[in-house]
Structure 1
């Protein structure tokens, strides 16, 4: 029938998409926000968009950055892209989580950040490593015993405070406490003073170990793009197209990272679900997907 003919004329990357998905995939380059419900084929849209950028708009694959929320999602995206655009092109695309992309950037240029106190051979501390440092502070500074010290809550407050600011490089414990309180995070008044001291000691411990914790990866990358204009210019040219999946889950710091990577040409394509924030505890600000995005990216299309 007539429809089948139209279908055959369509580029393969929009075949089988509904009208909304097709409109998203083919949207003009600029700031595009796709709000999609669960199960509405967000990944199809992302993959279709990448194929469109490469095949129709002739974007070099190495200029495309795809950010996902989990390593598993990054792997799946890469595999499905391989089927769509071929192995060589898929390999040239940068796809990964916020943290893995940030870590790569820091290994390459992180030692340029003024006062960062780490080399490119830094170690990445996970939650347990971080707890160990906090435990040491509680024992050595506050006279607790290894048995009674409970580093968990303090470590969580430190982590939460880092996701409440644009970046935490060079900020001290009192600044970070203020950030926690301003974001209305629950930290009891009796713990305020201890938090400030613990935070400063914790940061010292990380620096001495030439380590970043998980939150610092994002923070330091934002700081690097802010403080080192030449590095920022390198990445602006490196990735002309930034695509972000599960955008509703971005924290303040993650959002700042996207903003810095996709200026000045502002070519950013974000896919998110306004009604669903999976990582509520990660300091994700649902406001990001609605209001902030409109202010920061001109001519946003939804």
Structure 2
């Protein structure tokens, strides 16, 4: 495996050949290069590309990693996804299997979302506060939209989200706004971007037997920037893993930047180890 110009730490990651792994990698440590070579080695060992799931945090990272992987590996390479694209594919499969109601999986435009949120606010807000709320209409819409999106990063529901966000009593009516918006959305068979993960995950969290039908396919699941995933994404990963294969997490707990939308470094530092007891690499 000479000629790769990998450091000893990178080579150890590239040569990892079985079991879960957690890679704590600071910026500039070359973890992407190590991950690319790990995938190439798995392909060279005969693993079919479709049995490898590679998850990047956003579309830009996905496109860059996919380009670099195609340059490094010969022949077919695994598809590189984001959590939302995997959620989309899972949603499609669940519709086909009659496990979830059919929906238009093109996410609603934000203008439609905000219009419906405002309608819900006017319906649910305390009557004696409506005049003041109307005076700050846009900021109230954005606050309610944030609450709805945050609620869809956890499994425990809107009240837990309210408590986690430490919102004041004046926003208690957001609980009913969430429920009103969700009732409207489902009546329209529509989804927001967050629902591509939220809808399948919530249903599968309540039906373990059904969840088992969607796991245990992949030989390896590789997740970059694990410090930035949230509870519902971590749950989705557990579903996809099932009971077989390896899960490889890469992240830096000091670089969490999406805590405002439910990300917690605890999923990398603690929960990953409980669900996928790993070999740990530090670069």
Residue from 150, 158, 164 that aligns with 1:160: 150
- Number of matched residues? 273
- 2:120 aligns with 137
Matched, 1:53 2:42: yes
5+ residue gaps, structure 1: 1-9, 167-174
Higher relative contact order (CA 8 A, sep 6+): 2
Tell which deviates more after alignment, 101-110 or 44-53. Answer: 101-110
Of 75, 100, 115, the match for 2:85? 100
* Unaligned runs of at least 5 residues, structure 2: none
Aligned match of 1:170: none
C-alpha distance in structure 2 between counterparts of 1:281 and 1:113, whole Å:
34
Output the CA distance in 2 between the equivalents of 1:275 and 1:30.
25
Q: Which moved more, 1:118-127 or 1:66-75?
A: 118-127
Say whether 1:83 aligns with 2:71: yes
The answer to whether the Cα contact below 8 Å between 1:123 and 1:210 also exists between their aligned partners in 2 is: no
**Change in 2 beyond 3 A, CA 1:210/1:228:** farther
1:189 aligns with 2:169: yes
TM-score, normalised on structure 1? 0.82
Q: Select between 289-298 and 120-129 the one with higher mean Cα deviation.
A: 120-129
Q: CA deviation at 1:139?
A: 3.0
Q: Determine the C-alpha separation between the residues in 1 that align with 2:35 and 2:200.
A: 25
Contact 1:112 1:224 in 2 (8 A): no
User: Is contact 1:113-1:223 (8 Å) kept?
Assistant: no
Q: CA RMSD in A?
A: 2.4
| Equivalent residue number for residue 17 of structure 2 | 28
Aligned-pair CA distance for 1:300: 4.0
Q: CA deviation at 1:129?
A: 3.5
Q: Secondary structure at the match of 1:89?
A: coil
